[in-house]
Amino acid sequence: MLELLDEARKLSIFTAYNANVDAIVYLKGETVQRLIDEFGAEAVRRRMEEFPRQIEGPIDFVARLVHALKTGKPMAVPLVNEELQSWFDSHFKYDVERIGGQAGIIANLLANLDFRKVIVYTPHLARRQAEMFVNKPNLFYPVVENGKLVLKHPHEAYRENDPVKVNRIFEFRAGTTFRLGDETITVPYSGRFIVSARFERIRVYTEEALKPFLPEIGLQVDGAILSGYQGIRLRYSDGKDANYYLREAKKDILLLKREKDVKVHLEFASIQSRELRKKVIYNLFPLVDSVGMDESEIAYVLSALGYSKLADRIFTYNRIEDTVLGGKILIDEMNLEVLQIHTIYYLMYITHADNPLSEDELRRSLELATTLAAARASLGDIRSPEDFKVGLSVPYNERGEYVKLRFEEAKRRLRTREYKVVIIPTRLVKNPVSTVGLGDTISTGAFTSYLALLRAKGAL
């Protein structure tokens, strides 16, 4: 794995579009209790049953937070009312503030791992946000000066009047207890609840001046990791809509690939609106080579594609055979080169049988990904290539053998001759310093090691 990481570090990567400030709260039981008492257990329970899809008022937040804690599942819910920011700031003291957003997290991770060149782009780069990028000589932000593409460090490229996006992240630990009326709730798993800012002025796009230079950026990199499309709104007050921004996103991908066939990975994230989810899937998945998501996200995707019964089975039973079946459908219908699925207990790759990499090589790629994530969970962040070694001492989760057994059963039941399907158990940190960015870390480790293995075979 160390050799594979060294090979991956020779790559240059472009990542876009979402970077923001993550304001992190380490939740305690008494903090949750205070929130429930403020609104009343009955009001919270009623709102939980209504299951608000976005946060427009404080009670929406409390209801969805308690639901996440009760199930122990990581969740992200959009905050659409900008005026509520002051309510959050008055109710919570943030334990940590750092770079957030998939593109921001991935850029800092790759820069700290000493990848050859990391180009990060986000359409909004305020000073507060820019200063959270690591001060590394291999990290660049693209700007246009005198009609030419110039790569600067983000610290030198910020714009004073740009808006700042703040995502509030509530980290919770297994075993935390509180009361909801007569009911005592104990959190079953560690995770996080994300209140993601979705304000009108924060948009997902490439500036017009930079757009013509995307082919030049494509020539300078070996791969691109794109994310943040969950931030698109269906409609905007200026008349633009999701269709407009997705048309532009399609142009961006085609421009990146115009001069050479750059491998593009799309990191999918939960999209509450089924209509928007469908638009992102049908517009962007067919243009990219690789997609990464967790098991709940594959269920959402399958539901949007019309496979509601299969999606319900994944949501309800979380069986490996259903996830494999869903993955086969996805790579066939969207013509993906590779699909990567990450869950708390296992990582999975699904490709077509003609993929240049062997199943053993695909397994090595996933091994690197889970080890990198284990190092991040242990340390809270990755600050140098040496930190990777910390992950090697983290044991595989206790369900590892069970996962392998269920996987073999799934392969016997399903037709997999036309596919390569590999699965590995995750290295699981019992008491993680932080869970934020672990999915992004897995996808980054998997995609970049996948590229390194393709390059070794002359297939990149």
Distances (CA, A) of 198 to 77, 266, 267: 9, 20, 18
Contacts of residue 458, defined as CB under 8 A and 6 or more positions apart, other chains included, come to: none
- Residues 185, 40 contacting (CB under 8 angstroms): no
Does 60 participate in catalysis according to the annotation?
no
- Residues 248, 17 contacting (CB under 8 angstroms): no
- Residues 193, 162 contacting (CB under 8 angstroms): no
The tally of CA atoms less than 13 A away on the side-chain side of residue 66 is: 34
- The DSSP bridge partners found for residue 264 are 224
Distance of alpha carbon 22 from alpha carbon 26, whole angstroms: 13
For residue 174, give the DSSP letter: T
Strands (E), 174-309: 177-180, 183-186, 191-197, 223-226, 263-267, 290-294
Distance of alpha carbon 306 from alpha carbon 6, whole angstroms: 42
Distances (CA, A) of 191 to 75, 300, 343, 382, 397: 8, 20, 12, 19, 16
Distance of alpha carbon 49 from alpha carbon 44, whole angstroms: 9
Long-range pairs for 358-361: beta carbons < 8 A, 24 or more residues apart: 358/420, 359/420, 359/422, 361/453
Q: Of the listed 252, 289, 294, 440, which one is catalytic? A: 440
Distance of alpha carbon 123 from alpha carbon 366, whole angstroms: 31
Distance of alpha carbon 284 from alpha carbon 131, whole angstroms: 31
What's the length of the chain? Answer: 460
Tokens of 201: 């002025």
Amino acid making up residue 234: L
Catalogue the active-site residues. 440
